[in-house]
Amino acid sequence: MVKERKLIIAGNWKMNKTVAEALDLVNGLKRELAAVKEVDIVVCPPFTALSEVSKVVLDSNIRLGAQDMSQHIGGAYTGEIAAGMLKEFSVRYVILGHSERRQFNGETDALVATKAAAALGASLKPIICVGELLHQRESGQTEAVIEAQLEGSLKGLTKGQLEESIIAYEPVWAIGTGKVATPQQAQEVHAYIRRRLAIMFDESTARHVRIQYGGSVKSSNARELMSQPDVDGALVGGASLEVRGFSDIVKNSI
Q: Which residues bind ligand 13P (CB under 6 A)?
A: 12, 98, 170, 175-176, 214-217, 235-239
**Shortest Cβ 73–ligand 13P spacing (Å):** 25
Q: Cβ closer to ligand 13P: 16 or 205?
A: 16
**Catalytic option among 72, 98, 143, 147:** 98
Name the nearest CA neighbour of 111 among 163, 66, 160, 69: 69
Q: Cβ closer to ligand 13P: 159 or 218?
A: 218
Do the Cβ atoms of 91 and 50 come closer than 8 Å?
Answer: yes
Q: Cβ closer to ligand 13P: 62 or 96?
A: 96
Is 98 annotated as catalytic? Answer: yes
Q: Cβ closer to ligand 13P: 63 or 98?
A: 98
Spatial separation of the C-alpha atoms in residues 94 and 92, rounded to whole Å: 7
Spatial separation of the C-alpha atoms in residues 36 and 26, rounded to whole Å: 15
State how far Cα 193 lies from the chain centre: 15
Is 170 annotated as catalytic? Answer: yes
Spatial separation of the C-alpha atoms in residues 71 and 59, rounded to whole Å: 30
* Residue 35, number of CB atoms within 10 A of its CB: 8
**Catalytic option among 100, 107, 170, 190:** 170
Residue nearest to ligand 13P (CB): 237
**Shortest Cβ 217–ligand 13P spacing (Å):** 5
What are the catalytic residues?
A: 98, 170
